[in-house]
Copies of this chain bind each other. A is one copy, B any other.
């Protein structure tokens, strides 16, 4: 999977990235009217639900991700007075501490920047078609998100 980045109005950027993400690079060159820049990074934690995590794999549906990213960008700009919105989400294999998702929002004032950054991360988590598989110290791994297929299926598929 290659980085899939589209530049839009005000230097907007959304996309998947197979390469490590630098939020600092993503925050460069925001419009000069931006008095406030808020960023958010989701990083791979070393533990989850009490288990020691060694790395993470992100699967993604790139064509649908494009559509979802464009939707999120459109809704963010319609509902928040921002000067720039930039979002990248990683795919592939990530080590502990690596950036899974990075968001940069620039705005005239701080409340607008915080509100928009929060709006974007909530939308990304609820809608972006990516899926996380955690690997643990003992060599096992599992997909996260929703119930395990088998459990759901026992009652549902009969």
Contacts of A67 in B (CB 8 A): none
Contacts of A77 in B (CB 8 A): none
**Stretch of A58-66, A109-117, A135-143 with 4 or more beta carbons under 8 angstroms from chain B:** A109-117
Contacts of A114 in B (CB 8 A): 40, 114, 117-118
Contacts A114-B114, A117-B114, A121-B110; A35 near B42 (Cβ below 8 A): yes
- In the bound assembly, the distance between CA atoms of A40 and B112 in angstroms comes to 12
- Residue pair A38, B40 in contact (C-beta under 8 Å): yes
- Residue pair A39, B36 in contact (C-beta under 8 Å): no
- In the bound assembly, the distance between CA atoms of A137 and B41 in angstroms comes to 37
- In the bound assembly, the distance between CA atoms of A118 and B114 in angstroms comes to 8
6 pairs, CB–CB < 8 Å, chain A vs chain B: A23-B39, A35-B42, A35-B43, A36-B40, A39-B39, A40-B110
- In the bound assembly, the distance between CA atoms of A103 and B98 in angstroms comes to 20
